[in-house]
Amino acid sequence: MDYESKKLDDYSGDLSIGRGSLDIPFLLITLLLLTIGVIMVLSASFARAYYANEGATYYFTRQLTFALVGVAAMYIASRFPIGFYRHFATVILLASLALLLLVLVGGEAANGARRWFKIGTITFQPSEIAKIGVILFEAQLICRFKNRMKTFRYGVLPFAIVIVAVVGLLVLEPHLSASVIIIGITAVMMFVGGTRLIWFALGGGIVAAAGFVAVKVLAYSSDRISAWLDPFADMSDTGFQIVQSLYSIGSGGLSGLGLGQSRQKYLYLPEEHNDFIFSIVCEELGFIGATLILLLFALLVIRGYWLALHCRDRYSFLVCVGVTSLLAIQVILNVAVVTNLVPCTGISLPFFSYGGTALLLQLSEMGIILSISRDIPEKKIIREKRVVPPRPSTAE
């Protein structure tokens, strides 16, 4: 079938069609952020590793290993056409739901939550698979319903069922941060899919009511709200982590204390190499360094949306928007948490926070965007031959 004659909604990256090259700007920014992130894990984690009697480079070595494997996974993911992911979208979502159900029974329990599977020394959260599963499946729904997305039956109900199924299992773990992210992703997908704005207003009210109930019912949620409103009221307990994070950010000043010179990482700041690694970034690299890193994230997100706008088919566009929005949401929420702009939740900073399987999946998601970029037509300069009209003959 001729490439140019395919309908935009039906094209799905046929292997028989010649594909272009990877988007180099997106690839380079991803690798640059990954490199900085791995270095920051080394700087932020060596004190904690010493304390755990694991050797100074324990966390760094594991993160570097997963980073290298993740780059390979990103390349492999970029080789599969988007049609491959569309074909298995339903399978991926159902598999993530099954894992979310199984983790409630056989998962590892820690800090009052049961969110992880542990295989040897490796742990992973099924919620990470659920995020990409939701994006791939909801993009498929939008392409299927097309112009019917403005109706409640097609533009709201199927997505509400997905949210209830996924978020319902996440709340049982409990894992409220992942629930917030998946609700946010679904809202973005519905918006670009064409759902009427009135349904967002109603949905926002339902989510706000559910959040209010969760705060009243779940004791740890109430404690986090109290710590967010006034972390210095209970500095030795509920407000301890955020206070130490603010100390870390404040001590960095404009230019920072220097790479490796953080003081708060010496067991003062909990999760210094994980969810709160950005606090160490601010302390060591200062306002200037932290701003440059956020600028790199912004460029990556902008490039992701630029690629989405240039996709040839709707499914690729939706997946590219979904994955890019997932990245943007996680960065914004993580930075908001460590600076106490929002209540404390367990949201990692992509490419920076320690966590091998999460990093592996994040790089695989970047590979999907790179795969989509290979199907974007390159601009071709067509040089037309200039035809010089014959000179009229003159009468002799």
| pLDDT at 235 > cutoff 90 | no
| Per-residue confidence (pLDDT) for residue 217, from 0 to 100 | 66
What SS3 string covers the chain?
Answer: CCCCCCCCCCCCCCCCCCCCCCCHHHHHHHHHHHHHHHHHHHHHHHHHHHHCCCCCCHHHHHHHHHHHHHHHHHHHHHHCCHHHHHHCHHHHHHHHHHHHHHHHHHCEEECCEEEEEEECCEEECHHHHHHHHHHHHHHHHHHHHHHHHHCHHHHCHHHHHHHHHHHHHHHHCCCHHHHHHHHHHHHHHHHHHCCCHHHHHHHHHHHHHHHHHHHHHCHHHHHHHHHHHCHHHHCCCCCHHHHHHHHHHHHHCCCCCCCCCCCCCCCCCCCCCCCCHHHHHHHHHHHHHHHHHHHHHHHHHHHHHHHHHCCCCHHHHHHHHHHHHHHHHHHHHHHHHHCCCCCCCCCCCCCCCCCHHHHHHHHHHHHHHHHHHCCCCCCCCCCCCCCCCCCCCCCC
d(CA 79, CA 93): 22
| Per-residue confidence (pLDDT) for residue 18, from 0 to 100 | 63
| Per-residue confidence (pLDDT) for residue 381, from 0 to 100 | 35
| pLDDT at 209 > cutoff 60 | yes
Average pLDDT over residues 341-350: 89
| Per-residue confidence (pLDDT) for residue 383, from 0 to 100 | 39
Average pLDDT over residues 77-83: 95
pLDDT one-digit tens code per residue, 90-143 = 999 999 999 999 999 888 877 777 888 888 778 888 999 999 999 999 999 999
Q: Is the pTM of this model over 0.85?
A: yes
| 276 three-class SS | coil
Average pLDDT over residues 265-293: 96
Could you give phi then psi for residue 216, rounded to 5 degrees?
A: -75, -35
| pLDDT at 343 > cutoff 90 | no
| pLDDT at 394 > cutoff 80 | no
Between residues 93 and 219, the one the model is more confident about: 93
| Per-residue confidence (pLDDT) for residue 225, from 0 to 100 | 81
| Per-residue confidence (pLDDT) for residue 176, from 0 to 100 | 84
Residue 383, classified by CB atoms within 10 Å of its CB into exposed (0-12), middle (13-18) or buried (19+), is exposed
| Per-residue confidence (pLDDT) for residue 385, from 0 to 100 | 43
Average pLDDT over residues 161-181: 91
The lowest-confidence range among 96-100, 186-190, 236-240 is: 236-240
